[in-house]
Amino acid sequence: MKKLKFYLIILLITSLAFNQDQSFDKSIKDTEEQINRLKASINSGNKEVEKLKTQSKKTKDIIELTRRNIKNSNALINAYDKKISLYNKQLVNLENAIIRNNQSINDIKKSYEIRSISLYKNRNNDLSNYIFNSKSFSQMIYRLKYFNIISEINQKSVNKIKTTQKFNRQKTSEISGLLDRVEESKNYKKTEISSLNQKKRYQEKLLKQLKKEENEVKAEIAIQLQQIDALEKLRKQIISDRKKYNEQQLASLKRIDKDIRNYKGKLDWPVQGKVVKSFGPQWNPRLNTTLDNPGIDISARATLPVKSVFDGYVSTITFIAGYGTTVIIDHNNSYYTVFTHLENLLISENMNVKEGQNIGYVSNDNIIHFEIWGNNQKLNPEKWLVNGN
């Protein structure tokens, strides 16, 4: 009955430990999944920031180019204004020249008219006197020629001025056409500047929006980094709690009330059988040498159970070549018992066992090798077993 109660307690503790381990594992798994999701989100956010930075750079380049175009267009308009001013001055000069030429033509015509009228009215007196009162015939001929030359010069002057007038009017018409085209180009540039300013305002607005989005993504990344930091702390805390819990559970499982050091010569034998090889140096006639045996070898039937010799904690179950399945039980205070050549084990690692509890069976080799370790030394088991030597 006592053994059944003990097994039920062990089962309950194991079940609670298993459930607690599952809870720890689930918490750690959930936390790590959250961390991985946040890391993925941060990675995506960083890519978005780089994309926004690239777009911002392109937008800045476009704004700079637009500003340069606006500046150049304004400079071009100023050049157009200067050209228009020069054309206007040239037109004024041409118009003034036309007015002066017209005045010269009128003056020549008026002078010629006055002279002609005067000569006509006084043709019998003045003209005759002027021509026929010459001192010589040659002088008379010269005076007649002079009068004709003056008339011819006046006519040539008038013709020349008229030619100049025609050129000036053509030039005026040409400059007026150029002036219209410059005005048209100027107005086109003004329209283009208006469009560029509108484009610049749009790009500046877009740049502001991109910067805002970049800051929002960075702020979100900062929050996610804080969340990751918090989750990392939580994960470390869970692992720490789990380690603490495992240590507490292990300490609970390893709790052994009796001290094996007080039971030297009183321990039960691990199996019923006969010692076929004692502890210490053993002569081997087949090898013709002395070999040291760290324990004792007990010959026993394969069907017999092997028992724990004292209360303890199963610290190790392993397989060792030449020894087969090996079990090590921890009895506290640096004391251990070692069993080899076992099969059909009834215990598992991290399990408490009681004195006399079956831990397995003798293997087909019909030999159980048994050792006792104490204070980092290999002790003679027969001195610790009841009725031993």
Report whether 384 contacts 265 (CB < 8 A): yes
Other CB atoms within 10 Å distance of the CB of residue 196: 21
- Beta-bridge partners for 336: 330, 373
pLDDT at 350: 85
pLDDT at 65: 84
pLDDT at 19: 55
Secondary structure (3-state) at 274: strand
pLDDT at 148: 61
Burial of 85 per CB tally in 10 Å (0-12, 13-18, 19+)? exposed
Q: How far apart are CA 359 and CA 379, in angstroms?
A: 22
**Predicted TM-score (pTM) of this structure:** 0.42
Q: How far apart are CA 188 and CA 180, in angstroms?
A: 12
Q: How far apart are CA 89 and CA 176, in angstroms?
A: 12
The token pair that represents 108 in the structure block: 């020549």
pLDDT at 302: 86
pLDDT at 361: 95
**Would you write out the chain's pLDDT as a tens digit for each of its 389 residues?**
444 444 444 444 444 455 555 666 777 777 778 778 877 877 887 888 888 878 888 888 888 888 888 888 788 778 778 877 877 887 788 778 778 878 877 887 777 667 666 655 554 445 455 555 555 555 556 555 555 666 676 677 778 777 877 887 888 888 888 888 888 888 988 888 888 899 888 888 888 888 888 888 888 888 878 877 777 776 777 678 767 766 665 666 566 778 999 999 999 999 999 999 999 988 777 667 777 889 999 999 988 999 999 999 998 999 988 889 999 999 988 899 999 999 999 999 888 999 999 999 998 789 999 999 998 899 999 999 998 76
Report whether 365 contacts 327 (CB < 8 A): no
The token pair that represents 329 in the structure block: 């039980």
Secondary structure (3-state) at 371: strand
